[in-house]
Amino acid sequence: MKKGVVYRVAGPVAIAELDARMYDVVHVGDERLLGEVIQINGSRCTIQIYEDTTGLKPGAPVVNTGEPLSVELGPGMLSSIYDGIQRPLPELKKLMGDFILRGAAAPGLDRSRKWDFKPVVKKGDKVSSGSVIGEVNEGQVVHRVMVPPGNEGVVKEVRHGSFRVDEVVCVLDNGFELSLMHKWPVRKPRPTSSKLAPVEPLVTGLRVIDALFPIAKGGVAAIPGPFGSGKTITQQSLAKWCDADIIVYVGCGERGNEMTEVLTEFPELIDPRSGKPLLNRMVLIANTSNMPVAAREASIYCGMTMAEYYRDMGYNVAMMADSTSRWAEAMREISSRLEELPGEEGYPAYLSARLAEFYERSGRYVNINGSQGSVSVIGAVSPAGGDFSEPVTQGTLRVVKVFWALDAKLAQRRHFPAINWLNSYSLYLDALSSWFAANVVAGWREAVDSVMRILQEEEKLLEIVQLVGSDALPEREQVTIQVARLVREVVLQQNAFHEVDTYSEPKKTYAMIKAILRYGDLSYDALKSGVRVSDIISVRAKDRLAEVKFVRDYDGLLKGILGDIEAEFGKLGKRQEK
Amino acid sequence: MKEYRTISRVAGPLVFVKKTEPVAYADMVKVMLPDGSVKNGQVLDTSDEVVIVQVFEGTSGIDLNTRVKFLNQPIKLGVSEELLGRIFSGSGRPVDNGPEVVADKMLDITGAAINPYSRANPSDFIQTGISTIDAMNTLVRGQKLPIFSASGLPHNEIALQIARQARVVGKESSFAIVFAAMGITSEEARRFIDDFEQTGALERSVVFMNLASDPAVERLLTPQLALTAAEYLAFEKDMHVLVILTDMTTYCESLREIGSAREEIPGRRGYPGYMYTTLAGIYERAGMVKGKKGSITQLPILTMVGDDRTHPIPDLTGYITEGQIELSRDLHRRNVYPPINVLPSLSRLMNLGIGREKTREDHKQLSDQLYAFYAEGLDLRGLVAIVGEESLSERDRRLLKLAAEFDDKFVRQGRNEERSIGETLDIGWRLLSAIPEAELSRIHPDLRKKYYGKC
């Protein structure tokens, strides 16, 4: 290992006399603070340090490990909670107490735990990059142990039984030894065979998303919104209920108390599909805003690498990053310490390249071992001042296909999720239509288009109302405003804290939309036959449609309400005839 | 310890010292002037060639003959229970003519991040006696909830009222108060101290005072000292601590001053790019720790420059804190106290602290309903100005009236009026009684039956 000395320290950045390659991991000072080489200038390297640098002096020793920043990949990651550089937080608590101090090393995977390994290859089998050599049960998930990319050979020996993650379970003819885990550098995408087009939605259980702005498995979505508009709640809701096999949740530079909420709430939640705790399929990374800024920068890459690893096993993985703006700000902070010439708003000029690079690691793939898997990424963006024209939002918009614009005005009215239906979009709408038609109901797309039309018309009408008042609108338009109000209150609004309403399966969403459209049709018909608009608007049963949200077996209730609505219209019609 | 007389440059609050032995980053520094006075400083940048020191008491009087001593340790605060009842300067010297504090232990003032895994989930409802906070933006123990104010608004009075009235229902122990003033006027400071003295709160308070006339750079220490004291009281002495930080805007301005003196590349509006991290380092020192009895609740106050909430200071603050209480000039002008505008205000931890057994079963739905109607009512105010009240529908007229009543009966209250949460929620129901029961779509029919028209 090469050694050097510190020359200068300023905040989270140090300069050292050291022989190193870019992105080599180094240990700085007597406390062996973890750092990474981010610039080389002659014999001097600039190092970003993942821990607090208080007390670090010029002349302190630096040791170069010669390896890039890597994560340990193997069984035991699920239901773990890590900091930004894959140190398990419960382990850090054991080592240092309730506060995070410096210089603690803790491996990402528990070395004492044993796993039952069932090989699926035998002596003489040929294996190559990514080949599955055996399986381990990791909670309810079958963890496939793979040959690390870049290695191949013929199996010379394979064991089965109970092993720790670092014990050898398989030896190849070229002498290469395989254990349950391997390391992978976080900044390097894991190789794949080919990228596939998205065809299947990531069903989220959020009505406004599934119906109007769906995301595909392997797709990328951005949730930008000013503070208080519900980014975190939406992210958590998605993490809880979306139908991915594995969730990687990265809390990047966010609030400590929010992470605590995740940590106390998630273990109690039960996966509606498997009946097991949700946490069993989840990896949590928590690097709160007051933890070192360099580790915040790394946390996003750590999360992505773990997501890719499970993708390689053939799983559909969803990664939530809350928030990518904090990641970008960490880049800005480091860049300004390097005294690089800034681009827009002080962000480094390579900001949009980094954003694009990161999001490009998502997608649906044929893996190198022939299986198929996907990584979907949902990134929260916290635009400064709520202004979507700032560089992080814009850089993100250039690469994502789905945009859920959160709106402070909606949040203030307690319209949640506060996704603005006019500014948001999904470019997967067409690609996913056939899936919804085949797997939910044939009329899906048609119903969705009607809803969108009504909402857009409402927007135009509201502008007129602003000028002349609602009474001045033609009768037909007054009815449209009613129908749109129902769409907003019944379909779009959803209560993340209600045990039933928190998850709405697509079938239910469709049934609710259809019921409202039915009310709309009846209204327009009644209007044509001369019924007064005030009578139509005062049809009482329609207001009960909102109750459907809170009921699990909604079929009977919905039919009842629809029956009542029809009956009321029937009466109106008869009165008209008289 | 070696002394150096190798100052090569003085610029703004910074002193550049050459040819030193290796000096550690963030170390404490004593600067000794030829006239015998001593100033304190901290290392901002260290290398073999030059060490940059920020001097907290300002650099006036420093010349090339000034001696510099590096103390080889970070800045620390001596803590013990004797801190209670005392008043200190912004850099931690006693200014109440009392004796030096005999320290139990010395704590590094930067503090360390609480391991997220060690945090306990805040869930104890704090009753402040102010309806707009208790019902609409509930404060819970361990939360950080800033007041977004602007110059000329009564944020200090609201903070004092909260400090006087805050308590956890059903639990006797009152809050210990740690008060950190940064760049406020001596008149404002006087008000706080007088109020603490009159109500007897001073004996359970620790006060750190950096006034407008004190050196601006000293302010950078004040919140760190205050929070170190708070952490000691909360996590080692089992106290529930309420920390009031005022005014965060002047703190950030000092941060900008240092940044520009170091010739750093500025971020938005000239504030340094690391301001988010620095602010997070302050605000995140609130919370509760599993297995410890105490807690730190933070109430930072900041004045929005030009009433603009998208200015970097309120903006970054809002992204770190768990909500905000925003004051409105419009309400203040209409002589409504406290002029809290509930619409842009928010408490993210509200749902953890309310409901059956904590406040009341109807709390959440009632507050959602009031929010929805009030927002609609305010929109209608704008519409009425254009089309007149006659062209409104009956429902709209009711909502317009509700919004006015809300300002008058719900928001408005006395400076010493302490409403229990029950009273507050009842007022809410009384306002709603002007709306037909069937239109309360945010409230479950069972709750409507129980409370509608009965409060």
Tens of pLDDT, residue by residue over A431-448, are 999 999 999 999 999 999
CA–CA distances in Å: residue B389 to residues A411, A466, A493, B383, B406: 27, 13, 30, 9, 19
- What are the strands, taking DSSP E only, across A106-191? 114-119, 126-127, 132-138, 141-146, 153-158, 161-164, 168-172, 177-179, 182-185
Look at residues A420, A419, A554, A386 and name the one whose alpha carbon lies nearest to residue A496. Answer: A419
Report d(CA B322, CA A260) in Å as an integer.
13
Q: Give the closest of B112, B280, B343 to A100, CB-based.
A: B112
Instruction: State the nearest Cα–Cα gap between B143 and chain A, in angstroms.
Output: 8
In DSSP terms, A2 is beta-bridged to A64
Q: Which residues contact A175 (CB under 8 A, 6 or more apart)?
A: none
Q: Mind listing the domains of chain A with CATH numbers?
A: 2-68 (2.40.30.20), 73-92+193-439 (3.40.50.300), 111-180 (2.40.50.100), 444-577 (1.10.1140.10)
Largest CA distance in chain A: 99
Q: At residue A274, does pLDDT exceed 80?
A: no
CB B54 within 8 A of CB B215: no
The residue of chain A with its CA nearest to that of B389 is: A469
CB B275 within 8 A of CB B319: no
Q: Which residue has the tokens 């681009």?
A: A343
Q: Encoding tokens for residue B422?
A: 């029950």
Which B residues, 251 through 280, put their C-beta within 8 Å of a C-beta on chain A? Answer: 264-268, 272-274, 276-277, 280
Mean per-residue pLDDT of chain B = 92
When pLDDT is cut at 50, 70 and 90, the band that residue A81 belongs to is very high
The residue of chain B with its CA nearest to that of A463 is: B383
CA atoms within 13 A on the CB side of A198: 26
Q: Give the closest of B45, B74, B322 to A257, CB-based.
A: B322
Q: What is the DSSP string of A50-96?
A: SS--TT--TT-EEEEEEEE-EEEESTT-TT-EE-TTS-BHHHHHHHH
Partners of B319 on chain A (C-beta within 8 Å) are: 227, 382
Determine the topology of domain B77-352 in CATH. Answer: Rossmann fold (3.40.50)
Q: Which pLDDT value is given to residue A43?
A: 93
Contact B115 A92 (CB under 8 A): yes
Return the amino acid letter for A190: R
Instruction: State the nearest Cα–Cα gap between B107 and chain A, in angstroms.
Output: 13
Q: Encoding tokens for residue A239?
A: 């993490």
> How many CB atoms are closer than 10 A to CB A545?
21
The answer to whether B71 contacts chain A (CB < 8 Å) is no
Instruction: State the nearest Cα–Cα gap between A468 and chain B, in angstroms.
Output: 6
Report d(CA B322, CA B329) in Å as an integer.
23
Partners of A54 on chain B (C-beta within 8 Å) are: 24-26, 74, 108, 110
Query: SS3 for B281-293, per residue?
Result: HHHCCCEEECCCC
Rounded to two decimals, the pTM is 0.90
Contact B273 A346 (CB under 8 A): yes
Contact B348 A386 (CB under 8 A): no
Contact A412 B122 (CB under 8 A): no
Contact A15 B47 (CB under 8 A): yes
Instruction: State the nearest Cα–Cα gap between B156 and chain A, in angstroms.
Output: 24
Q: Which pLDDT value is given to residue B253?
A: 95
Q: Which pLDDT value is given to residue B172?
A: 62
Report d(CA A280, CA A315) in Å as an integer.
14
Q: What is the DSSP string of B82-110?
A: GGTTEEEETTS-B-SS-PPP--SEEEETT
CA–CA distances in Å: residue B326 to residues A448, A527, B301, B367: 38, 46, 10, 17
Q: Which pLDDT value is given to residue A279?
A: 86
Q: Which pLDDT value is given to residue B451?
A: 95
The answer to whether B290 contacts chain A (CB < 8 Å) is yes
The answer to whether B114 contacts chain A (CB < 8 Å) is yes
Q: Which residue has the tokens 């805003």?
A: A289
pLDDT digits (tens, 9 = 90+) for A6-64: 999 988 899 999 999 999 999 999 999 989 999 999 999 999 998 889 899 999 999 99
- Test mutation, A9, A50, A229, A257, chain B, max B CBs within 10 A: A257
CB B441 within 8 A of CB A546: yes
Instruction: State the nearest Cα–Cα gap between B84 and chain A, in angstroms.
Output: 24
Partners of B274 on chain A (C-beta within 8 Å) are: 11, 293, 333, 336
Q: Which residue has the tokens 């797709």?
A: A219
SS3 B203: helix
pLDDT digits (tens, 9 = 90+) for A367-420: 999 999 999 999 999 888 778 899 999 999 999 999 999 998 898 888 999 999
Which B residues, 313 through 342, put their C-beta within 8 Å of a C-beta on chain A? Answer: 315-316, 318-324
Distance of CA B427 to the CA centre of its chain: 28
Computed over its alpha carbons, how large is the radius of gyration of chain A?
Answer: 27
Instruction: State the nearest Cα–Cα gap between A480 and chain B, in angstroms.
Output: 17
CB A180 within 8 A of CB A167: yes
Domain ranges of chain B: 3-73, 77-352, 363-451
Q: Which CATH architecture has domain B3-73?
A: Beta Barrel (2.40)
The answer to whether B110 contacts chain A (CB < 8 Å) is yes
pLDDT digits (tens, 9 = 90+) for A491-517: 999 988 888 999 999 999 999 999 999
Look at residues A326, A320, A225, A306 and name the one whose alpha carbon lies nearest to residue A266. Answer: A320
Report d(CA B448, CA B432) in Å as an integer.
10
Partners of A382 on chain B (C-beta within 8 Å) are: 319
Helix B155-165 with B186-198: angle, nearest 10 deg: 20
Q: Which pLDDT value is given to residue A240?
A: 87
Report d(CA B152, CA A5) in Å as an integer.
54
Partners of A98 on chain B (C-beta within 8 Å) are: 114-115, 118, 235, 289-290, 292
Helix B275-283 with A324-337: angle, nearest 10 deg: 120
Show the CA angle centred on residue A56, arms to residues A51 and A61, nearest 5°: 100
Q: Which pLDDT value is given to residue A509?
A: 96
Return the amino acid letter for B414: G
Partners of A90 on chain B (C-beta within 8 Å) are: 117
Report d(CA A284, CA A269) in Å as an integer.
15
pLDDT digits (tens, 9 = 90+) for A93-140: 999 899 988 878 889 999 999 999 999 999 999 999 999 999 999 988
Contact B391 A472 (CB under 8 A): yes
- Test mutation, A227, A229, A470, chain B, max B CBs within 10 A: A227
Q: Encoding tokens for residue B79?
A: 């803590």
The residue of chain A with its CA nearest to that of B265 is: A336
Q: Give the length of chain A.
A: 578
Q: At residue A273, does pLDDT exceed 80?
A: no
Report d(CA A383, CA A325) in Å as an integer.
7
List of chain B residues with pLDDT < 50: none
Same fold: B3-73 with B77-352? no
Contact B318 A261 (CB under 8 A): no
